[in-house]
């Protein structure tokens, strides 16, 4: 029996053997009653594992083509019916699986997944992402922290950990939170894979199909992906200069029974605005009055560059109505995916059960490394350094906006965070500006991603964190030129009359 | 003005300042029109930050007790109404938030979260977890892999990564999968945070409230947590010696329109049984006939100790009906939380969008480290080594069962995996045996955690992977004694008659 095996083929060896034997039976080279070589013999001749020959024979056995008799050997027992399997050439294929209808039923995620991607060109400037700047990462110090914990804890870090998180990190987070407000116990802390997972877990635990949630508009696109992508209703409350509009919020609370209020009170994403102390108090009072939990996203909270620091809602929360979320993604490293939730122990317990069903626990290596890095004071040192750089970049961007942007545009002056929110005249669609600016090698995030209804918006979020001062100046100059040209064209178009009226609205 | 600050108090400093000034106004020490010290002055006297004093003054301002006049200073403007905030001593508290009803609506997770925990005693022996043995982890080699990738890739590993996974790892997984079956492209691979997250994402994408799923009974408790914890219906199909019962499966498929079939065809958890090739073919045919996707959990697939190796369902899958999941948790390290899904690109795309909304992406450090470890052949070397050890431990456990267990008990003889499934006489509840055995320092997983309905079961899952040969022998001896005593007591109780009838059923 002559078999030829192709070791570079994607068809596994056992299948090649089975296919060829089958072919020999079909072709008449082997007849019913013929004896096949013993496994040991054939594997030796072909230079393959005995299990490979075994599997090939099992294939033929399963198809009823051969029979095995203990002590006597293996014999051809039937002639194959017309081939059916595709590794037998040219079968009649069944209709393909229609995945589309199976995967339907959820809105496509245009918020997070629709965010602009970085331009491939090396000279392109990205103002699109409110993220820390990788060139400032203290990679050597972090590498040493990783190495130190692996040497110290060894295999315990590679074994399963607790769903609630690495105990020393929970203690550290609790301790840090206690320093800046009221006492927090480690049992009130759940470690998550970033704020994104924190939001996802909170939705799974608190929001059932048909329930309603309240969030700010505009807001973080990742929150929209979590809250709008499922069978959830929502009310969007506008953000004004003092944060979420409390009058409209109270109206919504009085009319409906929402399951939660999601808010970013400090350096709100994308607007950069911060709620003052009195508004924070008022928001807590409303939550208590209407018995609706607040989910406080404090991810930018530590990145304050000027102005007096303010307590978080959680620090002011006497009755446990606030579920606080934060992460190391903006002050440390986004790629390690470590965040946390602080809440009433009952809530943390329920979230922990859900966390376990979601992914058992967050990788221990990331948790232990960032704990070590923080414990040794390296995180505090790093935060101090990046705050200086980001403050400078913000100032450069604000000056450049003043210098190059048309007078019809307005923008926020954030005391912290990573981005500035620009409002254009209403007749200008930021998506169209993005198309033009990409050609000029500049990207930013157009306003629509920050709104639940994704309506084209006259806003641009300009992140100043990941770009150096010179590139910020240059890119704002280019954006300014595009905007001025667009506004000039609009003015010309309607003879200036309609446009003046529009300007008055700005 | 004399203020005393307690730096050890949980009340923040700004609040202490505000409380005391308020007290002075209430007590008459400060009167309307009195001027407060300038911020600069007070912060110097108290030795606190200027922002602390600022925040304290903002508190009082928000409460209407003081007024600020630019250039003139800050003055007392009102006498406080009775205290309202709790940091003012003894307020009338609003009723506490009732979290219970808010968190309700989901079944408590008794499957995964209810699994026995390790005993604290050092001499205790755990047969409870079908996990790799930490004492066999090649920690030094892994540490060097981590260090190497951090040196090589630096800050890119700490920055955000792609939701679909670290590209070199996706390519590696695709390549490995192609070696053992049909060609897989990197675009057909999604990296997940372990198989648990793979299951959770698949549920989110394929199963809507009210939909039905099919899985084996008994099965992996983590799958029960995913599929039974939500508004999902399910059918449980018994596992027999050849894997899932295909006759009952076809009945269920014909009667209902389930969204998916979840199965563990190789070294099934908890029973250890493996589907033969003919059954695998038949299962695929059924899935195609009824147009129902198969979710194939192959987490133990590589841990075969004897018998011929079999192709995975995915390797036999010509029409893309199989969604294949696997991870590094059993062959490598569970704590790093890296797994993967292989499926049709359409399915992978939908899962990737959901992955992004769940946690943006899996930590890059874990992904890059396990890739480096695998790429250098260290994983293959490790797998070879652990297979030898686990095979030996399995054999030791099987001999010990033969030697010490009562003849009324039966058990499986798995060709791979990490555990053995013992069936006791029906009148014996494994939970009660566990209570006794814990006193004797031995834990195992009682059968109920592996059943959707959690009914007390007469089964024990005994994991042989994490315990050395000597402890396996000793713990099986202790369990055997407990079982024999229990059976003896039952026999005595009914005079031997009922018990004989019962034995006949075993």
pLDDT at A116: 72
The shortest C-alpha distance from A13 to chain B (Å) reads: 9
Cis peptide before B218 (omega within 30 of 0): yes
pLDDT at A10: 61
Residues A372 and A443 in one domain: no
pLDDT at A107: 59
- B151 contacts A146? CB cut-off 8 A: no
- A55 contacts B112? CB cut-off 8 A: no
- Quote the mean pLDDT of chain B: 89
- With H, G, I as helix, E, B as strand and everything else as coil, classify residue A343: coil
- Give the residue from B378, B409, B426 where a domain finishes: B378
- B150 contacts A137? CB cut-off 8 A: no
- B364 contacts A335? CB cut-off 8 A: yes
The shortest C-alpha distance from B409 to chain A (Å) reads: 31
The shortest C-alpha distance from B96 to chain A (Å) reads: 6
Nearest CB among B113, B353, B363 relative to A363 is that of B363
pLDDT at A59: 81
For residue B54, what are the CA distances in angstroms to A307, A310, A488, B49?
Answer: 9, 10, 46, 9
Q: Which chain B residues touch A137 with a CB distance below 8 Å?
A: 154-155, 158-159
Express the helix, strand and coil content of chain A in percent, nearest 5 each. 45, 15, 40
Q: How many CA atoms lie within 13 A of B111 on its CB side?
A: 24
Output phi, psi for B352, to 5 deg.
Answer: -65, -40
The shortest C-alpha distance from A437 to chain B (Å) reads: 24
Nearest CB among B102, B131, B206 relative to A206 is that of B102
- B113 contacts A196? CB cut-off 8 A: no
Residues A402 and A355 in one domain: no
Residues B372 and B387 in one domain: no
- A276 contacts B363? CB cut-off 8 A: no
- Give the residue from B359, B378, B397 where a domain finishes: B378
pLDDT at B89 over 60: no
Structure tokens at B283: 């299962």
Question: What string of DSSP letters covers B39-82?
Answer: HHHHHHHHT--HHHHHHHHHHHHHTTSEEEETTTEEEE--PPPS
Cα–Cα distance for residue pair A266/A243, rounded to 1 Å: 9
Over the stretch A2-60, which tens digit does the pLDDT of each residue have? 677 877 666 678 878 887 888 788 777 788 888 888 888 888 888 888 888 888 888 88
**Beta carbons within 10 angstroms of residue A183's beta carbon:** 13
Q: What CATH number is associated with residue B437?
A: 3.90.1150.10
- Give the residue from B351, B378, B405 where a domain finishes: B378
pLDDT at A72: 82
Cα–Cα distance for residue pair B129/B466, rounded to 1 Å: 8
Q: Which chain A residues touch B359 with a CB distance below 8 Å?
A: 192-194, 196-197, 200, 337, 359
Q: Place A506 in a pLDDT band, splitting at 50, 70 and 90.
A: very low
Residue B247 lies in a domain: yes
Q: Which chain B residues touch A48 with a CB distance below 8 Å?
A: none
CB A328 within 8 A of CB A382: no
Q: Which of A89, A97, A129, A246 would you mutate first to test chain B, the one with the most B CBs within 10 A?
A: A97
Lowest mean pLDDT among A476-485, B87-96, B193-202, B267-276: B87-96
Cα–Cα distance for residue pair A444/A268, rounded to 1 Å: 17
Nearest CB among A143, A178, A278 relative to B151 is that of A143
- Show Cβ contacts of residue B263 under 8 Å, excluding neighbours closer than 6 positions: B215, B216, B243, B244, B283, B294, B295, B296, B297, B313
CB B113 within 8 A of CB B454: no
Strands A189-192 and A339-342: antiparallel
Q: What CATH number is associated with residue A229?
A: 3.40.640.10
pLDDT at A81: 62
Over the stretch B156-189, which tens digit does the pLDDT of each residue have? 999 999 999 999 999 999 999 988 768 999 999 9
The shortest C-alpha distance from B478 to chain A (Å) reads: 27
Nearest CB among A58, A100, A259 relative to B308 is that of A58
Q: What is the CA radius of gyration of chain A?
A: 31
Terminal-residue alpha carbon distance, chain A: 87
Residues A326 and A442 in one domain: no
pLDDT at A108: 62
Nearest CB among B58, B288, B366 relative to A94 is that of B288
Residues B338 and B271 in one domain: yes
The shortest C-alpha distance from B498 to chain A (Å) reads: 42
- B94 contacts A334? CB cut-off 8 A: no
Q: Which of B153, B299, B359 would you mutate first to test chain A, the one with the most A CBs within 10 A?
A: B359
The shortest C-alpha distance from B255 to chain A (Å) reads: 19
Q: What's the structural domain count of chain B?
A: 3
What does the DSSP 8-state code read for residue B85? S
Residue B186 lies in a domain: yes
Residue length, chain A?
506
- A364 contacts B134? CB cut-off 8 A: no
Structure tokens at B379: 């994983």
- A96 contacts B319? CB cut-off 8 A: yes
- Report residue B317 CA to chain centroid gap: 29
pLDDT at B97: 81
Which residue has better confidence, A218 or B123? Answer: A218
Cα–Cα distance for residue pair A313/A263, rounded to 1 Å: 10
Nearest CB among B96, B100, B229 relative to A319 is that of B96
Instruction: Report the candidate in B208, B475, B364, B56 with the shortest Cα–Cα distance to residue A336.
Output: B364
Question: What string of DSSP letters covers B355-422?
Answer: HHHHHSS--HHHHHHHHHHHHTTHHHHHHHHHHHHHHHHHHHHHHHHHHHS-TT-EE---SBSSEEEE
Q: Which chain B residues touch A148 with a CB distance below 8 Å?
A: none
CB B228 within 8 A of CB B111: yes
Cα–Cα distance for residue pair A378/A398, rounded to 1 Å: 30
Q: Which of B107, B357, B378, B465 would you mutate first to test chain A, the one with the most A CBs within 10 A?
A: B357
CA dihedral sign, ordered A158, A160, A161, A163: positive
Residues A12 and A56 in one domain: yes
Residues B400 and B335 in one domain: no
Please name every residue paired with A489 in a beta bridge, in sequence order, or none if there are none.
none
Nearest CB among A182, A193, A350 relative to B193 is that of A193
Over the stretch B458-504, which tens digit does the pLDDT of each residue have? 999 999 999 999 999 999 999 999 999 999 998 887 665 555 544 44
Cα–Cα distance for residue pair A287/A306, rounded to 1 Å: 29
Q: What CATH number is associated with residue A65?
A: 1.10.10.10
Over the stretch B383-401, which tens digit does the pLDDT of each residue have? 999 999 999 999 999 999 9
Cα–Cα distance for residue pair B328/B337, rounded to 1 Å: 8
Residues A471 and A404 in one domain: yes
Residue A102 lies in a domain: no
For residue A17, what are the CA distances in angstroms to A66, A86, A277, B291?
Answer: 14, 15, 76, 31
- A12 contacts B315? CB cut-off 8 A: yes
pLDDT at A287 over 80: yes
pLDDT at B322 over 90: yes
Over the stretch B345-365, which tens digit does the pLDDT of each residue have? 999 999 999 999 999 999 999
pTM, to two decimals: 0.82
Residue B439 lies in a domain: yes
Residue A328 lies in a domain: yes
Q: Between A and B, how many CB-CB pairs are < 8 A? A: 299
Average pLDDT for B198-222: 94
pLDDT at B22: 81
Q: Which chain B residues touch A109 with a CB distance below 8 Å?
A: 353, 356-357
Residue B117 lies in a domain: no
pLDDT at B348: 96
Question: What string of DSSP letters covers B225-293?
Answer: HHHHSSS-EEEEEEEETTEE-HHHHHHHHHH---SEEEE--SS-TTT-----HHHHHHHHHHHHHHT--
Q: Which chain B residues touch A154 with a CB distance below 8 Å?
A: 137, 139
- A318 contacts B10? CB cut-off 8 A: no
Does the model's ipTM exceed the 0.85 cut?
no
- B335 contacts A365? CB cut-off 8 A: yes
pLDDT at A77 over 80: yes
Nearest CB among B131, B161, B225 relative to A357 is that of B225
Q: Which chain B residues touch A229 with a CB distance below 8 Å?
A: 357
The per-residue b/e assignment along A329-362, b for 16 or more CB within 10 angstroms, e otherwise, is: bbbbbbbbbbbbbbbbebbbbbbbbbbbbbbbbb
Residue A115 lies in a domain: no
Q: Which chain B residues touch A365 with a CB distance below 8 Å?
A: 146, 335-336, 363, 365-366, 369
- B229 contacts A277? CB cut-off 8 A: no
Over the stretch A373-423, which tens digit does the pLDDT of each residue have? 999 999 999 999 999 999 999 999 999 999 999 999 999 999 999 999 999
What does the DSSP 8-state code read for residue B304? B
Average pLDDT for A109-138: 81
- Quote the mean pLDDT of chain A: 89
- A346 contacts B159? CB cut-off 8 A: no
What does the DSSP 8-state code read for residue A306? S
Residues A387 and A464 in one domain: yes
Q: Which chain B residues touch A156 with a CB distance below 8 Å?
A: 134
- B346 contacts A157? CB cut-off 8 A: no
- A311 contacts B55? CB cut-off 8 A: yes
Residues A245 and A340 in one domain: yes
Nearest CB among A102, A134, A193 relative to B359 is that of A193
Residue B129 lies in a domain: yes
The shortest C-alpha distance from B407 to chain A (Å) reads: 30
Structural domain boundaries, residue B394 = 125-133+380-505
In the numeric block, the tokens 């090396």 are attached to: A122
Residues A264 and A402 in one domain: no
- Report residue B364 CA to chain centroid gap: 19
Nearest CB among A102, A158, A347 relative to B99 is that of A347
Residues B286 and B392 in one domain: no
Which residue in chain B is spatially nearest to A135 when comparing CA positions?
A: B155
- B139 contacts A365? CB cut-off 8 A: no
- Show Cβ contacts of residue B106 under 8 Å, excluding neighbours closer than 6 positions: A205, B229, B230
Q: Which chain A residues touch B225 with a CB distance below 8 Å?
A: 356-357
């Amino acid at each position: 029996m002559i078999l030829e095996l192709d070791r570079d083929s994607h068809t596994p060896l056992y299948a090649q053997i089975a296919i060829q034997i089958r072919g020999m039976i079909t072709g008449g080279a082997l007849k019913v009653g013929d004896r096949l070589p013993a496994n040991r013999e054939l594997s030796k001749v072909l230079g393959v594992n005995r299990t490979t020959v075994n599997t090939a024979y099992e294939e033929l056995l399963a198809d009823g083509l051969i029979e095995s008799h203990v002590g006597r050997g293996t014999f051809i027992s039937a002639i194959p019916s017309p081939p059916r399997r595709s590794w037998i050439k040219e079968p009649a294929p069944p209709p393909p699986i229609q995945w589309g209808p199976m995967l339907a039923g959820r809105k496509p995620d245009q918020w997070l997944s629709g965010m602009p991607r970085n331009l491939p060109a090396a000279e392109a400037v990205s103002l699109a992402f409110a993220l820390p700047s990788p060139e400032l990462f203290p990679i050597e110090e972090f590498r040493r922290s990783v190495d130190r914990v692996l040497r110290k804890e060894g295999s315990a870090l590679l074994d399963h950990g607790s769903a609630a998180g690495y105990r020393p990190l929970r203690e550290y987070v609790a301790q840090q939170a206690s320093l800046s407000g009221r006492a927090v116990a480690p049992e009130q802390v759940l470690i998550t894979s970033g704020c994104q997972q924190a939001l996802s877990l909170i939705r799974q635990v608190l929001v059932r199909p048909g329930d309603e949630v309240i969030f700010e508009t505009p807001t973080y696109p990742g929150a929209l992906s979590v809250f709008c992508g499922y069978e959830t209703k929502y009310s969007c409350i506008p953000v004004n200069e003092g944060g979420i509009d409390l009058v409209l919020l109270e109206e919504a609370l009085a009319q409906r029974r929402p399951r939660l209020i999601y808010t970013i009170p400090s350096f709100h994403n994308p607007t950069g605005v911060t709620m003052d102390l009195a508004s924070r108090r008022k928001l807590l009072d409303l939550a208590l009055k209407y018995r609706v939990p607040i989910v406080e996203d404090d991810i930018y909270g530590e990145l304050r560059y000027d102005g007096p620091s303010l307590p978080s809602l959680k620090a002011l929360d006497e009755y446990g109505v606030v579920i606080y979320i934060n992460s190391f993604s903006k002050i440390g490293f986004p790629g390690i995916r470590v965040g946390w939730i602080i809440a009433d122990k009952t809530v943390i317990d329920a979230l922990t059960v859900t966390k376990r069903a979601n992914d058992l626990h967050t990788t221990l290596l990331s948790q232990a490394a960032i704990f070590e890095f923080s414990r040794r004071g390296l995180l505090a040192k790093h935060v101090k350094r990046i705050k200086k750089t980001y403050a400078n970049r913000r100032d450069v961007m604000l000056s450049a906006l003043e210098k190059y942007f048309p007078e019809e545009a307005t923008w926020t002056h954030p005391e912290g965070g990573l981005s500035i929110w620009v409002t254009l005249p209403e007749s200008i669609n930021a998506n169209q500006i993005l198309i033009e600016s990409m050609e000029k090698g500049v990207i930013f995030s157009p306003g629509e991603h920050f709104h639940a209804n994704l309506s084209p918006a006259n806003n641009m979020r300009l992140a100043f964190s990941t770009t150096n001062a010179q590139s910020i100046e240059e890119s704002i100059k280019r954006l300014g030129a595009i905007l001025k040209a667009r506004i000039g064209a609009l003015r010309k178009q309607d003879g200036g009359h309609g446009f003046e009226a529009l300007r008055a609205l700005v």
